[in-house]
Structure 1
């Protein structure tokens, strides 16, 4: 009998169970082990959304090499062991693949590796788009996916029924994760239109497919809805508010059809955020309140905290200080309950930095600039540098708050720090920075301010 490595090369699509990892789990259930992984991540300042399904995929051999965040967590949990000891393949082996070998969906192509080279970020995003597209072409629903992407015989040839299994559902779920990771690093501007391709494929699967099991169908609905929200966010962050509104509404409809309160709460959360940015503050309040009603079925205090912050932002936009303060107090009370195993995976970004940043936005909307600046500074200080996009956002908001609080030189310094993160492409961030530049213009003869204004103008010319 051939060794497992030879068997893997002979049959590329056959996953080899990771028995070493299974032994390390011991008598703990996958859910219990996932909880210990999340705890270990918090101990070293990592953020991973590990659940029983992820552990199952590792043990089944579907994830041949973990991404860098998981690698650090696993090596922290099992000091002295290597990735090989944990049953994983070497990263270079996973990435190599060999000429002619079909690309594997997501597991072997770690998202963060795309940015380790000196290549241009636009090329990285183009490559990532191709990876996302190919993921939907590797399973049994290739005809559906190809037709939805304009690569097959056309929409009229999509079969009325197709069987959906783990391959297709995993591809949808992994597309969501990869889009979020790319947004964390690069921002939305270069990614939005490319990310629409897997979204169309996901909804083609929903429209033209049947699932062998109810759990598979539920995961497909949830995955498609989360993908719609992710693409909606890319539209939102790049200033395409009408597109974002449409995608969020699509996700909400998917949640209602699938009876998924977690997805419904997420859709309302983003709808509230969008309404606030569009100046529809009453809608922002109502959407956040609707999201809280849905979230009560999820048992996640952190989700309720975020939705309370969305409501606070709406009240602040309406100039209702009392409503804002009540919502903020509720948000802090929920946040202080801590994380839970039932926290949705997409909330990995929501920690103390985001809590501070959203509170800063509330005080800014109420015109209390020094108070807003204090919270924005704390958000920027606490934010992990790996989340480049959010770090740039927090610093941009800090610059805006300082400029209006009468601290132009500090504002200019914060603006310089935003410009240092040139790889982030976000219309939202550029808009905040341009607004700050206009506020600082009367102080342009101040050395630090003048230097920032010149550098900002140069960045606009290069854009």
Structure 2
């Protein structure tokens, strides 16, 4: 939309919109602006809603408070044709907030199905092209909860589906580098899960808050979240709190506690064979190898990290290209720690292959940039100059 079209939609002046675009403090205005926008879109015609929804999918914009600017997003965000088609297949879920009235189980099921589709796309493509779409699904869930009528059973379904939508939006926001937004989505998900007394969703929210805290360098906070999740979890769901504990202990330098937690996680995975809830179906032997390899890297054991990360990478196909790329970057880190520069360049180059073809992840790009800075000290080593040239082309 033009600035004037957007201003007319919000019933404000074009100069106000221009000022918002230029203002580094835009985050302070977003809540009120979002309410104006939500109200305007609810009453706008379907053509406007469709146009705006398309823009949201193609150009998700962070408010700048996470260190990821809208210009950064525009440079990196490319929606491939297969991904665009997959997003289009979500159908009316992202554009049905104008509906009100009686809703039933089918409406809640469509919401939940859209969340599962977005989650699968995230495993394959990373978060940068998908965060806005997931947030829109969560918003639609809130709209149905607030403006529709439904039975108690459907209320539970809507609460759990909207909680899962916020979980998905949080993970995709995290992968886009928007950490405050991710925390906000996770906390919303936890609140909804507690309202519905859905234990699985509560565990999901807590372990993701634990993961975020570890990433931000707060292992004690991470352990509090992970311990709370373990207290709620039962059966296979205990695997995820334990791997979060293992990573947090490793970050804190507590080797014995970290090894004990990862051992318990592997035992939990082996002991429970029944079908798991969809959100932790990603936790398998490949993921445990990747997590344990990451733990070994944090604990200063690069040889063990290399072995485990190679095992994880070998088990991942294109449907989990995002995780494969992440572990290839960490394999490059392990090899650099071992002094194996040529091997590090090869692994980093393969991560670039994933990023160049299907994956858009701020987290992976940031870790890869760290590897590139280290590799840049070894000009002339076979493979290094080739990688550095390719890496420069994508930045």
TM-score by length of 1: 0.65
Q: Which residue of 2 aligns with 1:134?
A: 92
TM-score by length of 2: 0.76
1:123 Cα deviation after fit: 4.6
1:121 Cα deviation after fit: 3.6
Q: Distance in 2 between matches of 1:434 and 1:246?
A: 27
Task: Specify the SS of the correspondent of 1:386.
Answer: helix
Q: Is the 8 A contact 1:285 1:312 kept in 2?
A: no
Alignment of structure 1 residues 263-342 onto 2, 5 Å? 263-296=201-234, 300-301=235-236, 303-341=237-275
Gaps of 5+ in 1: 1-119, 148-158
Moved more, 286-295 or 367-376: 367-376
Q: Is the 8 A contact 2:108 2:154 kept in 1?
A: yes
Q: Is the 8 A contact 1:412 1:449 kept in 2?
A: yes
In the alignment, is residue 417 of structure 1 matched against residue 353 of structure 2?
A: no
Task: Specify the SS of the correspondent of 1:447.
Answer: coil
Q: Distance in 2 between matches of 1:123 and 1:381?
A: 27
Q: Which of 125, 138, 146 is 2:98 aligned to?
A: 146
Q: Which residue of 1 aligns with 2:177?
A: 239
Q: Distance in 1 between matches of 2:207 and 2:273?
A: 18
Task: Specify the SS of the correspondent of 1:379.
Answer: helix
Q: Distance in 2 between matches of 1:446 and 1:166?
A: 61
1:217 Cα deviation after fit: 2.0
Greater RCO (Cα-Cα under 8 Å, separation 6 or more): 2
Quick one: structure 1 residues 184 and 338, their matched pair in 2 at CA, closer, same or farther if it must change by over 3 Å?
A: same
Alignment of structure 1 residues 39-438 onto 2, 5 Å? 121-132=79-90, 134-135=92-93, 142=96, 145-146=97-98, 162-212=101-151, 214-296=152-234, 300-301=235-236, 303-341=237-275, 343-421=276-354, 422=356, 423-438=358-373
- Cα offsets for 1:239-259 (capped at 9, x unmatched): 110000000000000011111
Structure having the higher helix fraction is 2
- Cα offsets for 1:388-429 (capped at 9, x unmatched): 212212212211221122111111111111111212100111
Q: Is the 8 A contact 1:306 1:331 kept in 2?
A: yes
Q: Is the 8 A contact 1:132 1:198 kept in 2?
A: no
Moved over 6 A (4+): none
Kindly name which structure, 1 or 2, has the bigger radius of gyration based on alpha carbons: 1
Q: Is the 8 A contact 1:409 1:448 kept in 2?
A: yes
Q: Is the 8 A contact 2:239 2:265 kept in 1?
A: yes
1:126 Cα deviation after fit: 4.5
Q: Which residue of 2 aligns with 1:439?
A: 374
Q: Distance in 1 between matches of 2:390 and 2:87?
A: 32
1:231 Cα deviation after fit: 0.4
1:206 Cα deviation after fit: 1.7
Q: Is the 8 A contact 2:239 2:269 kept in 1?
A: yes
Q: Distance in 2 between matches of 1:136 and 1:453?
A: 40
Equivalent pairs, count: 316
1:129 Cα deviation after fit: 4.3
Q: Is the 8 A contact 1:319 1:366 kept in 2?
A: yes
Q: Distance in 1 between matches of 2:125 and 2:94?
A: 23
Task: Specify the SS of the correspondent of 1:146.
Answer: coil
1:382 Cα deviation after fit: 1.6
**RMSD value, Cα:** 1.8
